Amino acid sequence: MAKRVLIAMSGGIDSSVAAMLLLEQGYELVGVTFRTFDSIKESCLAKEKGCCSVENIMEAKHLAERLGFEHHILDYRQIFRDTVIRNFTSEYMCGRTPNPCVLCNSHIKWGELMRAADEFGCEKIATGHYARIAEHNGHLYLRVAADTTKDQTYFLWMLTEENLRRTVFPLGDLQKTEVRQLAAAHGFKKLSEKRESQEICFIPDNDYRTFLASEGLIVEKGVYVDADGNRLGEHDGYCNYTIGQRKGLGIALGKPCYVTRIDAATNTVQLGSHDDLLTNRVDADQIRVRDTQWLKNDPEVEVRIRYRSKAVHARLQIDGTHLTAFTYEPVWGVTPGQSLVVYKEGMVVAGGII
């Protein structure tokens, strides 16, 4: 009997091609698409039209029908609000810049997905992420995808070993160009040309400030200061800024200036030069380490401080629930709230929140 696999489908090209590949490999699929954050009316769902969210859900549903496997729409809006949205707003309230995709992957896309897999009698879970799984020293690790330009392991560092034990990444060994070619070869030319979304799913216009205001996070104007605490001017409230920001500051100092520090308690935003944001030390809490002894015995690693940043060589120090990376070359714009992800031999060995 074919193994049943629960596949998360967004309606996009990656999860769709992942489904096609699994079917070709003989798996029995159960497709699921989440409703996480939207204002979809039930009447829109019934008519299968009305907004981009409905279109994505229905594209996933219709693709599953065309390929001949069952599909379910799962309503996770409340748990998404209670976890991802609440964390997003509370982090900004504290003057940090969160990465909601990291939390969503661990709590929603795997936490809830594993429960759904059990409900539908599925042994494995599959997604369209660009990542691989490797084994080392008796542990399972995330491994960087073959297409390093699309690799998504940075967003997945919170996944547990139990998560990985039940996960399949059909696209891990493929290049993005190959995925597009496969979609076209299977008769889905329109899908093969579909544009990718780079935005946070609950902020489709990429305007997080308006979103925070709609969630009730409105902070009154505050003061810009320099490194010595001297007043430079007035800003629109600390939650409207992030470390490394240069544009949209609304202040002219006769030279390029960047946000170098945010103090939520005093509603002050510190400005400085590009070089003020260079450092060789990154600290993180809320850490997860796959094999502590391995890292203590051999602390030479590579680290990334944001999704698009290159991995840099570093020496790791683990102290209980605290992790410090001492980088051999300066990194720029270390941002509280973002993730520090630690790699060794192409595998994710640890991570934490900066």
Q: Which residues are catalytic?
A: 104, 201
In angstroms, the CA 219 to CA 200 distance is 22
At 30, the amino acid letter reads V
Q: In the sheet where 222-225 sits, what is the strand order?
A: 231-235, 222-225, 268-272, 258-263
Residue 151 and residue 117 in contact, taking contact as beta carbons nearer than 8 Å: no
In angstroms, the CA 186 to CA 177 distance is 14
Distance of CA 153 to the CA centre of its chain: 9
Classify residue 300 by burial, with Cβ atoms within 10 Å: 0-12, 13-18, 19+.
exposed
- CA dihedral angle for residue 23, residue 10, residue 307, residue 303, rounded to 10 degrees: -40
Distances (CA, A) of 100 to 90, 91, 203, 343: 12, 10, 11, 21
Q: How many CA atoms lie within 13 A of 139 on its CB side?
A: 17
State phi, psi for 157 to the nearest 5 degrees. Answer: -65, -20
In angstroms, the CA 27 to CA 7 distance is 11
Neighbours of 332 (CB within 10 A): 16
In angstroms, the CA 51 to CA 43 distance is 12
In angstroms, the CA 10 to CA 16 distance is 8
Q: Provide DSSP, 75-129.
A: E-HHHHIIIIIHHHHHHHHTT----HHHHHIIIIIIIIHHHHHHHTT-SEEE---
Structure tokens at 160: 């547990």
- Beta pairing class for 124-126 and 4-8: parallel
